[in-house]
Amino acid sequence: MEKLIKEIQRLKKEKNAIILSHYYQRPEVQDIADVIGDSYYLSQIARDCEQQLIVFCGVKFMAESAKILSPEKTVLLPALDAGCPMADMADEEGVSEWIKDYPDATVIAYINSSTEVKALVDVCVTSSSAEKIINSIESDEILFLPDKNLGSYLAEQFPSKRFILWDGFCITHHRVRPESIVKIKKRIPEIKVLAHPECDKEVRDLADYIGSTSGILTFATDHDFKDYLVVTEEGILHQMKKKNPDKNFYVPGATMTCVNMKKTTLQDVYESLAFNKYEITVEEGLRVKALRSLEKMHELSK
Ligand code: CIZ
Ligand code: SF4
């Protein structure tokens, strides 16, 4: 592994590349990255960094968002088949039909959506930026896709607006059941439950804090409680433990792993840099359309 890490570092320097890693990636991939973050933060870095070569350790919609925002840069996704099943739940044709039924609504896509879908909507959001963005939207009627769980959580935060939700969800977050949280709470009554809004409502209702990966990380880092139950993809635990070596972190059973986020290995990162694997391309007409909703996201979340 040492040799592989050295090779990655050598190639990175030689090619003046930047390696970005999502919080859900394998610990060793996070450790080799220049920047670790959520999809909002990483999309900002990808757009603003001076490097022209970006190795994006995440899933496809993240690398495509980087390419849409920075067409002049080369964006590589080391694991070609790292997709997001939730993004796949909203197909272009279905979404375009759905939108037609609500001509007065503002259409919001979670960034976990395909480029084709981003091209159809008014604005994109991430879980860390959604509330701020919706705050500045005047329309009372909102179409939200593809995540019905994040959508229903946001609807609870904005009771004066009418939310109409697409029927998608994250298969990883959907796996956690309220019973496993109740069980851990019985064992450690003082534990703080930190849940992602992609969780089902019955799970969110048991949480002490609901927020994005960066929100969950900040909550645990900024508070003095000793024990935390982390209800999101378990990759986030790597940074939580690194930043808080004296605190205890628990997971609700062994099921919170996103196989797509774990597809990228160190070997893939090496091959990505060595052989330009796999270059993300977005057809220019489509890119320009999808850019509008991503730029709107950055504008409204300032
Ligand atoms: O926005 C992201 O990066 C995802 C997928 C989750 C989160 O809460 O950060
Ligand atoms: Fe998609 Fe869920 Fe995996 Fe995130 S954790 S990439 S939303 S399937």
Predicted structure pTM score = 0.96
In this structure, are strands 141-145 and 123-125 parallel, antiparallel, or unpaired?
A: unpaired
Give the whole-angstrom CA distance, residue 180 versus residue 202.
12
Give the whole-angstrom CA distance, residue 112 versus residue 114.
7
In this structure, are strands 227-231 and 209-210 parallel, antiparallel, or unpaired?
A: unpaired
134's CB contacts (< 8 A; 6+ apart) are: 108, 125, 142, 154, 157, 158, 161
Of all protein residues, the one whose alpha carbon is nearest to atom 8 of ligand 1 is 212
Q: Which atom of ligand 2 is nearest to the CA of 112?
A: 7
Domains of the chain with bracketed CATH: 2-81+261-282 (3.40.50.10800), 86-170+286-300 (3.40.50.10800), 172-250 (3.40.50.10800)
pLDDT tens string, the chain, 302 residues long: the values are 899 999 999 999 999 999 999 999 999 999 999 999 999 999 999 999 999 999 999 999 999 999 999 999 999 999 999 999 999 999 999 999 999 999 999 999 999 999 999 999 999 999 999 999 999 999 999 999 999 999 999 999 999 999 999 999 999 999 999 999 999 999 999 999 999 999 999 999 999 999 999 999 999 999 999 999 999 999 999 999 999 999 999 999 867 999 999 999 999 999 999 999 999 999 999 999 999 999 999 999 98
pLDDT at 248: 98
pLDDT at 254: 65
Asked if residue 22 belongs to a known ligand binding site, the reply is: yes
Q: Which atom of ligand 2 is nearest to the CA of 24?
A: 5
Of all protein residues, the one whose alpha carbon is nearest to atom 5 of ligand 1 is 39
Helices (H), the chain: 2-14, 27-32, 39-48, 60-69, 85-88, 92-100, 115-118, 130-135, 148-157, 171-174, 178-187, 201-204, 213-222, 237-243, 266-275, 284-300
Ligand nearest to the CA of 61: 2
Q: Which atom of ligand 2 is nearest to the CA of 59?
A: 6
